[in-house]
Amino acid sequence: MNAATDPATGPATDPAPAATGPATAPAPAATDPATGPAPAVPGPATAPAPAVLPIRAVPLPGGRSLRWHPRAALVSGLLLLALLGTAAWTLTAGDYPLPVRDVLDVLGGGGRRADRYIVMDVRLPRLLTALLVGAALGLAGTLFQTLARNPLGSPDVIGFTVGSATGALTVILLIGGGAATVAGGAVAGGLATSLLVYLLARRGGTQGYRLVLVGIGVSSLLSSLNAYLIARASFSDAQSAAVWLTGSLNARGWEHCTPMALALLVLLPAAVLLGRPLRMLELGDDTAAALGVRTEAVQLRLVLTGVALTAAATAAAGPVPFVALIAPQAVRRLTRTSGPNLLGSALLGALLLALSDLAAQRLLAPTQLPVGILTGVVGGGYLVWLIARQWRRTA
């Protein structure tokens, strides 16, 4: 066997190719009929072995396997513990403080009558609404940011949250009705907005800055429409609508919590089922299509699922800003993983909103602030940092 073509020895043990031409023209060595082509396998200095990803696989029946990331599992566990601590703090602290033992008695079906009212009718439904709305916004943010392949592609930036708010405001100020009617208006407004944004951005694809820029433009138009609707309303209706537009969990009861729980019960499995094609779409439409993904159909299902999550959250708590923007990006940095992390985003979104609502209740007690003020302060600072970071990368 010719030594120049033996991959076991490599070019380091065969100096012959280096002598077949000048240093500035190594091509003759590759075409020399006496020696044959140069080795195709580069040396270790130019092609280091790829690092092994810290992913574990658990075999399942039927030849399948469940892959999981140890660091992501650790972060999810810590977020769950933080959620439990926040829930305990929310249920025990306040103008009417309760020991943990009394709260557990109430949750077990006992306790005093006053304690049952405070826990079951005031604090628990508000807490659960915050957790469910935050989880829905975290999931929606993950879907849209991955679909757009842009960290700014969250529903509150690209206009879907404002569209849901427009539909809900139309019902509140012009039609009237209960929580179910408002939820229907929010869903209709979100779907109409998503259809408009999708059609306008579809020519250039749903990725990159085109979707973000189109969404920002549509969001500005709808914000002006919302301001017009409030200006036409009566003083009392305009006042309540302005508070609702900020995003608020004040006076939230079981009539808000139950529909949100039912919506998440349906939409969470739908989002999980879309997780695998979502990861493939992050590689690019052409790559995903080569892997067997029906890109347009999957993108449409992702948009519908994300809009439904956003609309349900908006109907329950108003257009709470920036939770959908922060949660997916923060989870990706905490877990150091590539690709969407649905569970982590849902947990962090729930934690962010629950902590923000707790701060909104206690900062100026007994006055309760709308939770959107707190998330706006945190999210606005994060958005400025994110834009500055993107600018430095492209500069």
Does pLDDT of 176 surpass 80?
no
Phi, psi of 252 (to 5 degrees): -85, 135
Does pLDDT of 42 surpass 80?
no
Does pLDDT of 240 surpass 90?
no
- Cα distances (angstroms) measured from residue 132 to each of 83, 85, 127, 163: 12, 16, 9, 20
97-137 confidence digits (pLDDT tens): 999 999 999 999 888 999 999 999 999 999 999 999 999 99
Q: Which domains does the chain have, with CATH numbers?
A: 86-388 (1.10.3470.10)
pLDDT attached to residue 47: 38
307-326 confidence digits (pLDDT tens): 899 989 998 998 999 999 99
Contact 314, 168 (CB under 8 A): yes
Does pLDDT of 19 surpass 50?
no
Contact 326, 382 (CB under 8 A): yes
330-382 confidence digits (pLDDT tens): 998 898 877 788 999 999 999 999 999 999 998 888 888 999 999 999 888 88
- Cα distances (angstroms) measured from residue 234 to each of 174, 242, 244, 248: 11, 12, 15, 20
Stated pTM of the model:
0.80
255-278 confidence digits (pLDDT tens): 899 999 999 999 999 999 988 888
Determine the Cα–Cα distance for residues 171 and 282; give it in Å rounded to an integer: 37
